[in-house]
Structure 1
Amino acid sequence: MYILLASNNEHKRREIDGILEHLAAAVTILQPRDLGFSFDVVEDGTTFAANALLKAQGLAALIRGELRPGTSLNVPLETVQEKLATLCGDQPPPVLADDSGICVHALENRPGIYSARYGNSPDTPPLDDRGRNALLLQELQNHRNRGAHYVCNAVLLYDADRYLQAQETWHGEIVETPRDGRTGFGYDPVFLLPRHGQTVAEIPQAEKDRISHRAKALRALARAAGWIEATGT
């Protein structure tokens, strides 16, 4: 069964592939890039749930041949439909989307839904992961409370009025100095798991695929969708 992922982010795609492999879910994830296009949705929701649904709805509309306000596409609409018809016939695949971010307790749960845009300014280029981590540590310099949690809201959209949605968290602390490892992306080098004594960037990817906020949210969706047994992994 094909599932179309509403994201151009290759890191996210690889992580979702690893999570679903761990769950033994019999689905194949496709990204827009696999079908020769990319798209963007203006994420103007005020919650993780709203933004996840916006992404899913934006891509689902493209599949139906509609370009919703706030959605941009780099190829003609007909190209998207032709590619999908070749792969999936006349049965469009469900759309999977997620919205995730880090909530830092001393910063009143900022950056939250703005995690990917943290520190952005109209007058300067967007910060990369390293720049966002540096900004976060700078803001926390005078705070003793280093508590934080990740949030992931995942949605599986079948059609406009039928979808599954799950939201999960993953709690930890913010370190004073980034600790890079071989895995992870985003805020993982500064997000410490006290029980492990390591940042998320330092733990094996297979372990992250088992215990992360995204893993927990996708596990809930997979169970609800019938991809795995309700009492399974």
Structure 2
Amino acid sequence: MALSNEWVLASGNKGKLREFQDLFSPWGVNWVAQGELGVPDAEEPFHTFVENALTKARYASRLTGRPALADDSGLCVPAIGDAPGVLSARYATLFGQDKSDANNNACLVEKLKSVDDRRAYFVCAMVWVAHADDPTPTIAQKMWWGEVIDSAQGEHGFGYDPHFWLPEHQCTAAQMPKEQKNQFSHRAQATQALLLELQQRLGLTKTGS
């Protein structure tokens, strides 16, 4: 069976959809968000980013009959057992608070109040499957190291970006220009690694070449 050139993004994030559309269009790949095909969000029950991303990709592919890509990402702080980890988006709920960026950051800063080692890393795991039962899913996982600081700095980005300090750049992820962040971030690294793997796996060639 020929591989469809319409791939499903297991996310409702319009920014991600545009990003992948731009990245893969030279290879004749078209993306569609799973929500546009009536696919609801999948459960994310696992303790690792890769397992959650794989679950979401298989789920989207099974319900649409198309190749699918999913990602799972978050912030890990080794000194507190790599928390918030896969619970990054809802970390505040562990402390009885509503889920929000502000609450998540406040809870993390409070958790690190008496911790000297503030090293942390963002991680992004991306998984692509040709079909729901693909025995060899294509996986890319990358990390972006920095430190957690107490006071928010910067107005760009989202999530933990204002508290994620990058010593080599002397700024937070929220202070970094978008173009620069798109070169260094965990998601940027994982996206480029996945594209390289898929080029090798599928023999993708640019349209018109």
Are residues 1:5 and 2:9 paired?
Answer: yes
Q: Give TM-score scaled by structure 1 length.
A: 0.75
Deviation at 1:121, TM superposition (A): 5.3
Given the alignment, which residue of 169, 172, 177 partners 1:204?
A: 177
Higher RCO structure (Cα 8 Å, ≥6 apart)? 1
Q: SS state of the match for residue 174, structure 2?
A: coil
Between the aligned partners of 1:175 and 1:158, the Cα distance in structure 2 is 41
Deviation at 1:188, TM superposition (A): 0.8
Are residues 1:192 and 2:165 paired?
Answer: yes
Between the aligned partners of 1:187 and 1:15, the Cα distance in structure 2 is 21
Q: Which amino acid aligns with 2:117?
A: N
Deviation at 1:110, TM superposition (A): 0.5
1:2-151 alignment runs, 5 A limit? 2-13=6-17, 16=20, 20=23, 27-33=29-35, 35=36, 37-64=38-65, 92=66, 94-120=67-93, 126-151=98-123
Summarize the Cα distance change of 1:131–1:10 in structure 2 as closer, same or farther, 3 Å threshold.
Answer: farther
CA RMSD of aligned residues (A): 2.5
Q: Give TM-score scaled by structure 2 length.
A: 0.83
Between the aligned partners of 2:98 and 2:11, the Cα distance in structure 1 is 18
Residue ranges of structure 1 left out of the alignment (5+ in a row)? 65-91
Between the aligned partners of 1:15 and 1:199, the Cα distance in structure 2 is 22
Between the aligned partners of 2:74 and 2:157, the Cα distance in structure 1 is 14
Between the aligned partners of 2:78 and 2:139, the Cα distance in structure 1 is 25
> Quick check: 2:39–2:60 contact (8 Å CA) kept in 1?
no
Given the alignment, which residue of 139, 146, 158 partners 1:172?
A: 146
Q: Which amino acid aligns with 2:33?
A: Q
Deviation at 1:125, TM superposition (A): 6.5
Between the aligned partners of 2:127 and 2:179, the Cα distance in structure 1 is 23
Moved more, 153-162 or 170-179: 153-162
Between the aligned partners of 2:172 and 2:56, the Cα distance in structure 1 is 29
Between the aligned partners of 1:25 and 1:213, the Cα distance in structure 2 is 23
Between the aligned partners of 1:138 and 1:54, the Cα distance in structure 2 is 32
